[in-house]
Amino acid sequence: MAYTEEELKKELETKEYEYGFYTDIESDTFPNGLNEEIVVAISKKKEEPEWMTEWRLEAFRIWKEMEEPEWANVTYDKPDFQAISYYSAPNKKPKYDSLDEVDPELLDTFKRLGISLDEQKKLAGVAVDIVMDSVSVATTFKKTLGEKGIIFCSISEAIREYPELVRKHLGTVVPQKDNFYAALNSAVFSDGSFCYIPKGVRCPMELSTYFRINQAGTGQFERTLVVADEGSYVSYLEGCTAPSRDENQLHAAVVELIALDDAEIKYSTVQNWFPGNKEGKGGVFNFVTKRGICEKNAKISWTQVETGSAVTWKYPSCILKGDNSIGEFYSIAVTNNFQQADTGTKMIHLGKNTRSTIISKGISAGKSQNSYRGLVQVGSRATNARNFSQCDSLLMGNECGAHTFPYIEAKNSTAQIEHEATTSKIGEDQIFYCNQRGIDTEKAIALIVNGFSKEVLNKLPMEFAVEAQKLLEISLEGSVG
Amino acid sequence: MLKINNLHARVEDKEILKGINLTVNAGEVHAIMGPNGSGKSTLASVIAGKEDFEVTEGEVILDKENLEDVSPEDRAHKGVFLSFQYPVEIPGVSVTNFMKTAINESRKAKGLEDMPAKDMLKLIREKSELLEIDRKFLSRSLNEGFSGGEKKRNEIFQMAMLEPKLAILDETDSGLDIDALRVVANGVNKLKTKDNAVIVITHYQRLLEYIVPDFIHVLHDGKIVKSGTKELALELEEKGYDWLKNEAVVK
């Protein structure tokens, strides 16, 4: 996608959240509230096998006994879980053979998001599985992937078509009882994506999914499962936008990655959910559990650019179970106005010679609070484990906060763990220097922030990096005097 | 080109410039000398439009336009360039990227398209040769980990790239060894045309052996207390600033 200075300029002139529109599509929505009947009804609606219904019910029973966690460095009004509708699907038949059959209004939504399928199809090597209001409405490039034996479809479809694969892996990395939100997700997840890369196959294109919360008052519970079989490779992209809403929208996704021996998974996210308005009203609650497990010689990289959501609670983690496995976490988290983010990672070293790298860049502006929380844990059998962590914070203005909570637990004396942290502030001198060279203040901030974030931006696939840079600039507009 | 009339400026409650008058014509090189704290750097910042300084009286006129309400970036677009005494670091932003952004922002202000990559490359090649700059240097983060000399050379490189109408060199000689000084001065001389002008701010006359000024002004306590030709620098070198201070008091 061409991205000219002119386009950038136009965007910088738009002060309000640009994706704040609402598409009026008839929906099939369940009544508010959560009980066993609702869980069963969701499962039935999705034509799931009995084991799946049972699995959901088990999760629901666990969830009922759990308390919502309070340890994160965020404050918000807790959602009323009985005031949420747990299922909403576009009312039209969910699958289409061609674009002609798709509701024109829906297509228009995609166009406004800049992700028209036509364009996407033409774009080099990106297959898109679009999740709109919980049900996948379109999947492209499936055939090309099929030829390599790669499965990339909605999780609902996977449960129907590949029950053995799903049953074998679902909940193995993030069990139902893992935490409050993971349990809730396990009980009521409406849809999500499933991806399987067979042994020795290198996925020839970036797999990408666009999530979108669309129905007022509907919680969104995505479930993603990526399985990379021995010696395979896949790069998975996830990008999100949401329409603006006055009430808070809850989002509690679960992502599980499984990298078998010698496999590699790259998982990149650009998250741009509605952060609430300038007064701190509205915005998405994003309580996500993302975790991957690495078998022998396997590698998992998480890269994330977080600019949205009113409250974020998210720790993409790696369990380095196999010897010589590698975990990486590259993150940019931007908070502005009244946003709150508590995000970081966990690197659990269990195997020998396991290595992990954490690069976290936090940018706070306005009255926002931005926390990094990370755990590096080295098990007693993980000889020669290595970790390098770097947490940099950039502050803009005097009313925001940056916090770092690094936890280190090493049970093996051969472990080498390094932690570096810096905090800096965009200085008036830097801005004046740029001004003097003819660069106005907005552009100067964009330049400085992009420079600060460069190490992470470089880890993103090309087209995503451009999108991410755009987001950083939009998110920080007007944040310095 | 530049006309400064009775300029008074202060920072917070402290008056620093107390009535500066200065006229710089196209094709001229002016040197401003003076002891520490006399207001040399303040004058440079005020011409560039730094908002920390409040102009309480007088005016700065560039090409017949009063710059009072002109933002620093617009002054830059109009051809004002300041080579900083202490250039700031911008981590993660390469010299090339910074220059590309600066040039294209100026072009945009003039209603021009971005400079084509091919032309940009040519310009970079030409100017880096002029200042004997290694290409690898251009991929480094702006001023991060640069030595004093590298920072100053980089300032002059930027000046070469931006081709300003009025360049103000604030203590460009400080931190330069003799070889670097020669390269930098040589660069400035090559960039000199009959259509542009340079103001050199310096403590010592050393730099003025390489960049020869048409006029020298001595600043003391926020005022120009003496103006003259290049011979004045030698006199200052010999006698120090004190005789001028005394002279100013007597006046």
pLDDT given for residue A412 in this prediction: 94
Residues of A in Cβ contact (< 8 Å) with B151: none
Residue appearing with tokens 């220059």: B99
**Which range (A192-196, A217-221, B70-74) has the least confidence?**
A217-221
> A104 at the B interface (CB within 8 A)?
no
The pLDDT assigned to A133 comes to 41
Structure tokens belonging to residue B184: 């930098």
Residue A103 has pLDDT above 60, yes or no: no
Q: Give the chain A residue nearest B92 (alpha carbons).
A: A451
Question: What digits encode the pLDDT tens for the residues A450-481?
Answer: 899 988 988 887 767 777 777 777 777 666 54
Number of Cα atoms under 13 Å in the Cβ half of residue A345: 34
Q: How far is CA A273 from the centre of its chain?
A: 10
pLDDT above 90: percentage of residues in chain A: 43
**CB–CB contact A439 B73 (8 Å):** yes
Contact A297, A264 (CB under 8 A): no
Chain A residues within 8 A of B77 when measuring between CB atoms? 438
Q: Is the CB of A447 less than 8 angstroms away from the CB of B108?
A: no
Name the burial class of residue B157, with classes exposed (0-12), middle (13-18) and buried (19+) by CB atoms within 10 angstroms of its CB.
Answer: buried
Which region among A26-40, A305-319, A331-345 has the lowest average model confidence (pLDDT)?
A26-40
Residue of higher predicted confidence among A282 and B203: B203
Closest alpha carbon to A371 in A20, A88, A72: A72
CB-based contact B215:B28 (threshold 8 Å): yes
What ipTM does this complex have? 0.95
Which has more pLDDT, A253 or A85?
A253
**Residue A91 pLDDT class (50, 70, 90 cuts):** very low
Q: How far is B223 from chain A (nearest CA, A)?
A: 25
**Between A and B, how many residue pairs show a Cβ–Cβ distance under 8 A?**
79
State yes or no: pLDDT of A7 exceeds 90: no
Q: Which of the four pLDDT bands, split at 50, 70 and 90, describes residue A336?
A: confident
Whether B101 sits inside 8 A of A447 (CB atoms) is yes
Q: Determine whether the interchain pair B48/A436 forms a contact, defined as Cβ–Cβ distance below 8 Å.
A: yes
User: pLDDT grade, residue A104 (50/70/90)?
Assistant: low
Higher pLDDT, A354 or A369: A354
A469/B contact by beta carbon, under 8 A = no
Are A450 and B108 within 8 A, CB to CB?
Answer: no
The verdict on a CB contact (< 8 Å) between B162 and A437 is yes
> For chain A, how big is the Rg over CA atoms in Å?
22
Cβ <8 Å between A436 and B81:
yes
Are the C-beta atoms of A342 and A318 separated by less than 8 Å?
Answer: no
- B93, A450: Cβ pair inside 8 Å? yes
Query: CA nearest B89 in A: which residue?
Result: A430
Q: Identify the band that residue A146 occupies on the pLDDT scale cut at 50, 70 and 90.
A: confident
- The lowest-confidence range among A62-71, A95-104, B16-25, B130-139 is A95-104
The answer to whether the CB atoms of B50 and A432 lie below 8 A apart is yes
Of A315, A320, A268, the C-alpha closest to A464 is: A268
Q: Do B92 and A432 touch (CB under 8 A)?
A: no
Q: Is B114 close to A436, i.e. CB distance below 8 A?
A: no
Q: Which of B76, B90, B92 is the closest to A436 by Cβ?
A: B76
Rounded average pLDDT over B11-19:
93
The reported pLDDT for the residue numbered B203 is 82
Angstrom distance (rounded) from CA B108 to CA A296:
54
pTM flag (> 0.90)? no
Q: Residue A433: is its pLDDT beyond 70?
A: yes
Mean pLDDT in residue range A277-281:
75
* Pick from A252-261, A386-395, B112-121: least confident: B112-121
Asked if A358 and A320 count as a contact pair (C-beta separation under 8 A), the reply is no
Percent of chain A at pLDDT exceeding 70: 77
Q: Is A13 on the interface with B (CB under 8 A)?
A: no
At which residue do the structure tokens 């001198």 appear? A429
Q: Which of A3, A7, A433, A442 best tests the B interface by mutation, with the highest count of B CBs <10 A?
A: A433
Range with the largest mean pLDDT of A316-325, A397-406, B139-148: A316-325
Contact A351, A380 (CB under 8 A): no
Say if the Cβ atoms of A448 and B93 lie within 8 Å: yes
pLDDT band at A28 (very low <50, low <70, confident <90, very high): low
In this predicted structure, the answer to whether residue B250 has a pLDDT above a threshold of 80 is no
Helices and strands, counts by H and E, chain B: 8, 12
Which whole number is the average pLDDT over B91-109?
A: 93
How large is the average pLDDT for residues B108-122? 91
Give the tens place of pLDDT for each residue, A148-166.
999 988 888 899 999 999 9
- Tell me the mean pLDDT in the region A133-142: 47
Confidence check: pLDDT of A217 > 60? no
pLDDT score of A252 more than 70: yes
**pLDDT over threshold 80, residue B118:** yes
Q: Is A430's CB within 8 Å of B50's CB?
A: no
Nearest to B106 among A9, A428, A438 (CB): A438
What is the per-residue pLDDT for B20?
95
Is the pLDDT at B154 greater than 90, yes or no? yes
Mean pLDDT of all residues in B195-220? 91
For residue A232, name the pLDDT band (cuts at 50, 70, 90). Answer: very high
Structure tokens at B130: 């002029």
Which three-class secondary structure state does DSSP give residue B136? Answer: helix
Q: Which residue has the higher pLDDT, A279 or A160?
A: A160
Q: Determine the average pLDDT of the residues in B238-246.
A: 76
Our CA angle for B20, B24, B25, nearest 5°, is 160
Closest Cα in chain B, distance from residue A13 (Å): 15
Least confident of A105-109, A355-359, A423-427, A436-440: A105-109
Residue A27, pLDDT > 80, answer no
Average pLDDT over every residue of A130-141: 46
Local confidence band at B239 (pLDDT 50, 70, 90 cut-offs):
confident
CB distance A433–B84 less than 8 Å?
yes
Q: What is the pLDDT of residue A308?
A: 76
Q: Is residue B183's pLDDT more than 80?
A: yes
Nearest residue of A to residue B84, measured between CA atoms: A433
Chain B residues within an 8 Å CB radius of A438: 73, 76-77, 102, 105-106, 109, 162
> What type of residue is A375?
L
Mean pLDDT, residues A112-119? 48
Give pLDDT, residue A472. Answer: 77
Enumerate the domain spans of chain B.
2-250
The pLDDT of residue A93 is: 37
* Closest by Cβ to B108, choosing from A5, A451, A455: A5
* Confidence band for A311, pLDDT divided at 50, 70 and 90: confident
Q: A392 to chain B: nearest residue by CA?
A: B91
Q: Mean pLDDT, to the nearest integer, of B1-27?
A: 94
User: Which residues make Cβ contacts (< 8 Å) with residue B2, sequence separation at least 6?
Assistant: B22, B23, B24, B47, B60, B61, B62, B166, B197, B199
Best residue in A9, A422, A434 for a mutation probing chain B (most B CBs within 10 Å): A434
Amino acid sitting at position B90: I
User: If pLDDT is split at 50, 70 and 90, which confidence band does B10 have?
Assistant: very high
A436 Cβ under 8 Å from any chain B Cβ: yes
CA distance A71 to chain B (A): 34
Tell me the mean pLDDT in the region A222-239. Answer: 92
**pLDDT computed for residue A222 by the predictor:** 86
Residue A212 — pLDDT band, cuts 50, 70, 90? Answer: very low
Residue A240 confidence (pLDDT): 58
pLDDT at A141 (0 to 100): 62
Could you tell me the pLDDT band of residue A132, with boundaries at 50, 70 and 90? very low
The second-level CATH assignment, the architecture, of B2-250 is 3-Layer(aba) Sandwich (3.40)
Distance from CA of A447 to the nearest CA of B (A): 7
Average pLDDT score, chain B: 91
Look at A346 and B183; give whichever has higher pLDDT: A346
Residue A22 has pLDDT above 60, yes or no: no
Categorize the per-residue pLDDT at A327 as very low, low, confident or very high, splitting at 50, 70 and 90. very high
Whole-number mean pLDDT of chain A? 80
Band (pLDDT 50/70/90 cuts) for residue A266 is very high
